A and B are shown apart, each in its own frame.
Chain A
Amino acid sequence: MTVESTAARKPRRSSKRTAGAGAKKTAAEPELVQLLTPEGERVEHPDYDVDLSAEELRGLYRDMVLTRRFDAEATALQRQGELGLWASLLGQEAAQIGSGRALRDDDYVFPTYREHGVAWCRGVDPTNLLGMFRGVNHGGWDPNSNNFHLYTIVIGSQTLHATGYAMGVAKDGADSAVVAYFGDGASSQGDVAEAFTFSAVYNAPVVFFCQNNQWAISEPTEKQMRVPLYQRAQGFGFPGVRVDGNDVLACLAVTKAALARARRGEGPTLVEAFTYRMGAHTTSDDPTKYRADEEREAWEAKDPILRLRAYLENAGHADAAFFEELETESETLGKRVREAVRAMPDPEPMAIFDHIYADGHALVDEERAQFAAYQASFSDGEGN
Chain B
Amino acid sequence: MAVQKLPIAKAINESLRKAMETDPKVLIMGEDVGKLGGVFRVTDGLFKDFGEDRVIDTPLAESGIVGTAIGLALRGYRPVVEIQFDGFVFPAYDQIVTQLAKMHARALGKIKLPVVVRIPYGGGIGAVEHHSESPEALFAHVAGLKVVSPSNASDAYWMMQQAIQSDDPIIFFEPKRRYWDKGEVDTDAIPGALHKARTVRDGSDLTLVAYGPMVKVCLEAAAAAQEEGKSIEVVDLRSMSPIDFDAVQASVERTRRLVVVHEAPVFYGAGAEIAARITERCFYHLEAPVLRVGGYHAPYPPARLEEEYLPGLDRVLDAVDRSLAY
Interface residues of A (CB under 8 A from B): 110, 137-140, 142-144, 149-150, 152, 154, 157, 159-169, 171-172, 190-191, 194-195, 197-198, 201, 354-359, 361-364
- Report the bound CA distance from A121 to B186 in whole Å: 54
Q: Would B68 and A163 count as touching, CB distance under 8 A?
A: yes
Residue of A nearest to B76 (CB): A168
Interfacial chain B residues near A357, Cβ < 8 Å: 104, 144, 146, 168
- Report the bound CA distance from A144 to B99 in whole Å: 17
Report if B297 contacts A (CB, 8 A).
Answer: no
- Label chain A's interface by main secondary structure: helix
The interface stretch among B2-10, B57-65, B121-129 is B57-65
Q: Which of B244-285 contact A (CB under 8 A)?
A: 244-245
Q: Would B107 and A164 count as touching, CB distance under 8 A?
A: no
Interfacial chain B residues near A138, Cβ < 8 Å: 102, 105-106
CB distance from A150 to the nearest CB of B (A): 5
- Report the bound CA distance from A163 to B29 in whole Å: 14
Q: Would B77 and A168 count as touching, CB distance under 8 A?
A: yes
Residue of B nearest to A197 (CB): B59
- Report the bound CA distance from A149 to B107 in whole Å: 9
Report if B53 contacts A (CB, 8 A).
Answer: yes
Q: Would B71 and A160 count as touching, CB distance under 8 A?
A: yes
- Please tell me which one of the listed residues A152, A191, A355 contacts residue B104 in the complex, with CB atoms under 8 A apart: A355
Q: Would A164 and B75 count as touching, CB distance under 8 A?
A: yes
- Report the bound CA distance from A79 to B61 in whole Å: 42
- Report the bound CA distance from A364 to B105 in whole Å: 13
CB distance from B167 to the nearest CB of A (A): 4
- Report the bound CA distance from A292 to B107 in whole Å: 40
- Please tell me which one of the listed residues B61, B99, B106, B109 contacts residue A157 in the complex, with CB atoms under 8 A apart: B99
When A and B form their complex, which 6 residue pairs have the shortest distance between CB atoms, in order from nearest?
A: A164-B71, A160-B67, A168-B75, A164-B68, A194-B64, A358-B167
CB distance from A123 to the nearest CB of B (A): 16
Interfacial chain A residues near B59, Cβ < 8 Å: 194, 197-198, 201
- Please tell me which one of the listed residues A110, A165, A355 contacts residue B72 in the complex, with CB atoms under 8 A apart: A165
Interfacial chain B residues near A137, Cβ < 8 Å: 106, 108
Interfacial chain B residues near A358, Cβ < 8 Å: 104, 109, 112, 166-168
Q: Would A364 and B68 count as touching, CB distance under 8 A?
A: no
- Report the bound CA distance from A50 to B151 in whole Å: 62
Report if B143 contacts A (CB, 8 A).
Answer: yes
Q: Would A191 and B71 count as touching, CB distance under 8 A?
A: no
Report if B39 contacts A (CB, 8 A).
Answer: no
Q: Would A359 and B166 count as touching, CB distance under 8 A?
A: yes
Q: Taking A143-B110, A359-B166, A364-B143 as contacts, is the C-beta distance between A150 and B67 under 8 angstroms?
A: no
CB distance from B262 to the nearest CB of A (A): 18
- Please tell me which one of the listed residues A144, A160, A355, A362 contacts residue B70 in the complex, with CB atoms under 8 A apart: A160
Residue of A nearest to B67 (CB): A160
Q: Taking A168-B76, A355-B105, A355-B109 as contacts, is the C-beta distance between A157 and B94 under 8 angstroms?
A: yes
Report if B241 contacts A (CB, 8 A).
Answer: yes
Q: Which of B50-88 contact A (CB under 8 A)?
A: 53, 58-59, 61, 63-64, 66-77
Q: Would B108 and A355 count as touching, CB distance under 8 A?
A: yes
Q: Taking A142-B110, A355-B109, A361-B242 as contacts, is the C-beta distance between A154 and B75 under 8 angstroms?
A: no
